[in-house]
Amino acid sequence: MLSVMVTLFSAVMEVWLIGYAERPIDMLSDTAPAEIWQTHRASLIGAGLMGVLVRPVAQVARHAVNNIGLQ
């Protein structure tokens, strides 16, 4: 059961990151370049943290639970 939950969380993270990939393009088209950081700071930091911290932890957890590649 834990294996399914961790794998599902990891898959949701992957889908979210793929879905988020178009948002910076939309931000650039809707917001002046000088205002991107001021307007979308929280979203950009959150996406960065998800990609740099949460996704790798989810992948390591998935491999650890499924006992693949950590032997």
Segment 13-34 mean pLDDT: 90
Confidence at 42, pLDDT banded by 50, 70, 90:
very high
> Does pLDDT of 70 surpass 60?
no
- Report the C-alpha gap between 7 and 25 in whole angstroms: 29
Amino acid at 57: V
Amino acid at 34: A
Confidence at 36, pLDDT banded by 50, 70, 90:
very high
Provide the CA 25 distance to its chain's centre, in angstroms.
17
Task: Specify whether the CB–CB gap between 43 and 31 falls below 8 A.
Answer: no
Locate tokens 């969380």: which residue?
9
- Report the C-alpha gap between 26 and 18 in whole angstroms: 14
pLDDT for residue 71: 54
